[in-house]
Amino acid sequence: MKTQKPTPRLDMPADHQMTPEQRSLRDVILSGPRGTFKFGGPFAVWLHAPAFGHKAQQLGALCRYHTSLPPRLSEFAIMVTGRIWRAQYEWEAHAPIAANAGVSAATIKDVKAGRRPRTAPADELAIYDFVHQLYRDRRVSDETYRQVNDLLGDEGTVELVGILGYYALISMTLNVFQVSTESEKAMPFREPIRRQG
């Protein structure tokens, strides 16, 4: 059964209705490391709070493009975060990027299904366990920490936690404001039933 896409709670302002602050945020994002893309997702939401949006997108550019993590592991962590939060837009945006960075189709399929990947390399499994344990327990065990720290070092471990925090912010933004996926195909995940109160 196809789940109906939720109605977005905020519309992106039309160009002629944007304030100078909103235009400045849009222009900074479009001219930054993300390159040219269809402006939307969390960035469209942040236009409604441009001072916040400026700071958030700066952190996002750092987390996505300027850490010591190899792109494969960074995008894998982002993709796993998107799956945990069932953030439709985030998954649709980052699963293909993870694939292009070297994450296997089988691993992506397992993560999408909510399974620990069966054939992923050891470094991806260490990241997967770290991400899941941190979101589930709000802590990581000494063993889980050591596996990731041995893999990434102190700097990379700090950056990984920053990536996870930033993409939790992205996921919350997408879910609260019901940001829809861009494509016409079915959403990656079933939307939860919403209850009043």
pTM for this entry? 0.92
pLDDT digits (tens, 9 = 90+) for 151-161: 999 999 999 99
State both tokens at 197: 């109160």
Length in residues, the chain: 197
Structure tokens at 154: 């102190």
Judge contact between 106 and 118, C-beta under 8 A. yes
Say if residue 197's pLDDT is above 80.
no
The pLDDT of residue 1: 43
CA distance linking residue 124 with residue 72, whole number of Å: 9
Exposure on the CB side of residue 32, measured as CA atoms within 13 A: 19
pLDDT, tens digit (0-9, with 9 covering 90-100), for 18-73 = 999 999 999 999 888 776 566 789 999 999 999 999 999 999 999 999 999 999 99
Top CATH class, 71-176: mainly alpha
CA distance linking residue 7 with residue 191, whole number of Å: 12
Q: What is the pLDDT of residue 120?
A: 98
**Residues 187/178, Cβ–Cβ less than 8 Å:** no
